[in-house]
Amino acid sequence: MERILASDEEQQGDSDARTDVADRLTQAAGDDTRPGEDAPMQQVRIAILGTGFSGLGMAIRLKQRGYDDFVVIERATDIGGTWRDNTYPGCACDIPSHLYSFSFALNPNWSRAYSPQSEIQAYLRECAERYGILPHIRWNCELLNATWNDSNQRWQLTTSQGRMTATLLILGNGPLNEASLPAIPGIESFVGTIFHSSQWRHDYDLTGKRVAVIGTGASSIQLIPHIQPRVSQLTLFQRTPPWVVPRRDHPIPGWQRALFRRLPITQHIARAIIYFQREFMALAFVYRPQMMRAAERLARRHLEAQVADPALREKLTPRYVMGCKRVLLSDDFYPALTQPNVEVITERIREVRPHSIVTTDGNEHEVDAIICATGFHVTDTKLPEFICGRDGRSLGEVWQAGPSAYKGTAVAGFPNLFLLIGPNTGLGHNSMVYMIESQITYILGCLRLLDRRGLQAVEIRPEAQETFNAQVQQRMQGTVWTSGCASWYLDAHGRNSTLWPGFTWLFRRATRRFDAARYQLISRQSNEAPAMAVPANTSL
């Protein structure tokens, strides 16, 4: 999601305003406990960060493979990751329900074709309980620092509940956990209610209020239809109109759910059909961008059918190639915008005043509340600044030129560190759970290697990582994502360090086995890494 700014240069300014707003939006997010210096040092083999699909999936697979010496570090007091944090009205998945689940734990009880947030979180809770993960979770425990110690070949972790060491550190926190706030002059002076869509104020009644929504991304198009009937006036500040296609959501009939329960194979078949339908979309995104024209025609017909007013329709018509930004699904977003209490503003915001928002054309829009549906920090998240590798440099320093990793999973200079949903593993067409499970398989392969050979650590070789990422960026050329628009897929240097440029089955094939020849292998008896030749062919 992009910020709504009067100028691009404002991204560098007004840091005090952002700090003030961040404090206001997170004031109820819990205490600031710090570990005691005298706290005992806990030692574990594996530390996992987060209890969303990534961290929980990793923990379950470890348990199933007989690994029990692990902890899951969770800063909150409940399961779910982004599906715990995002509770705004209408929050739901934009991947069909039967595909958005673990392959080893299908849920026959989804109520709708696209799962609502509450059902997804309940599903994750049920998985954690069913597979015995709850005793491994350290609740209300925030990771403050992680530093690799070369002398004992372990990660030294400082958390809000104490210190621990771990042989392996697995970051399963995901990319959608740090809210991105708009850097707008004067926003700290606003005296009304302001909050981010991922930190929804359920205690604040929107009924009869004048509400401003900043942003037109995935969360915005879901929440607007739900709050529009309640508010007296809704003003949507849109910087770039999204491409929106029909969602075609519907309840799953009881007989079908009963069939899935009694004959699980039928749900596996339904899942496979959805998977291949979604996978077909990669042809247009990556290999044949001209195929997007047919999808654009569908989206234009959808807009024309739901918005009769030509002036409003003009405002809502995208001017970039479909797919360059995230394609959104909705059946009720456009109808909500046609209601008499809704106004769509396309001029950029110049400033925020105590009771209003002023746009660059000089118009002042009085509001009681501001909802920032402005997405998340994806390529510039803060956590990497607190992960320090072999030479003392942080992951953030190493990624100054843009995030990169070997198969989105390992980073040179950071032994025994593994990322889930790391750089270039995101998708624009299919289920992220499929990618997560592929990475989990890869990491489990590394664990088997460590055990079989009596190794203490592995570290991806720089040349292997560089070759892999060069191939990824080369493949990125000619895709729909390089067609010229600005999006949160791109990092500060204009590189697409977020998405996987290909079919998901290609990523699964690339991660089906742990390729030890690409790594430095360090034995338990010595910190010396044995010299191993890297094969010339390091293709994806």
What does the pLDDT average to over 311-337? 94
CA pair distance 288, 147, nearest whole angstrom: 44
For the stretch 93-129, pLDDT in tens is: 999 999 999 999 999 999 999 999 999 999 999 999 9
pLDDT at 481: 80
Closest C-alpha to 113, from 102, 99, 97, 100: 97
- 474 CA to centre of own chain: 24
For the stretch 266-321, pLDDT in tens is: 999 999 999 999 999 888 888 888 888 999 999 999 999 999 999 999 999 999 88
What does the pLDDT average to over 328-355? 97
What does the pLDDT average to over 429-455? 96
pLDDT at 38: 55
CATH 3.50.50.60, domain 8-28+179-252+257-372, yes or no: yes
Q: 464: buried, middle or exposed (CB in 10 Å: 19+, 13-18, 0-12)?
A: buried
Closest C-alpha to 434, from 4, 206, 100: 100
pLDDT at 26: 40
**Which residues make Cβ contacts (< 8 Å) with residue 436, sequence separation at least 6?**
53, 54, 57, 420, 421
Q: Are 489 and 481 in contact (CB under 8 A)?
A: yes
The C-alpha R_g of the chain, in whole angstroms, comes to 24
CA pair distance 34, 368, nearest whole angstrom: 37
pLDDT at 39: 57
For the stretch 360-392, pLDDT in tens is: 999 999 999 999 998 776 556 788 999 999 999
- The pairing of strands 328-329 and 210-214 is unpaired
Give SS3 for 46.
strand
Question: Is the pLDDT reported for residue 179 higher than 80?
Answer: no
Please state the pTM of the whole predicted model.
0.88
Per DSSP, which regions of 399-503 are E strands? Answer: 417-419, 455-460
For the stretch 242-270, pLDDT in tens is: 999 999 999 999 999 999 999 999 999 99
Question: Is the pLDDT reported for residue 13 higher than 50?
Answer: no
pLDDT at 24: 39
Question: Is the pLDDT reported for residue 68 higher than 70?
Answer: yes
Of the given ranges (7-21, 151-165, 167-181, 396-410), which has the lowest mean pLDDT?
Answer: 7-21
Question: Is the pLDDT reported for residue 417 higher than 60?
Answer: yes
Identical fold for domains 8-28+179-252+257-372 and 42-177+378-523, yes or no, is yes
Provide the Cα torsion 461, 467, 472, 473; round to 10°: 120
pLDDT at 34: 45
Each domain of the chain, given as residue ranges in start order, spans: 8-28+179-252+257-372, 42-177+378-523
Question: Is the pLDDT reported for residue 19 higher than 80?
Answer: no
CA pair distance 245, 388, nearest whole angstrom: 43
Q: Where are the alpha helices (DSSP H) in 236-370?
A: 254-262, 264-280, 282, 292-306, 310-315, 333-337
CB atoms within 10 A of CB 308: 9
pLDDT at 495: 83
Of the given ranges (197-211, 476-490, 505-519, 521-535), which has the lowest mean pLDDT?
Answer: 521-535
- 202 CA to centre of own chain: 23
CATH number for the domain running over 42-177+378-523: 3.50.50.60
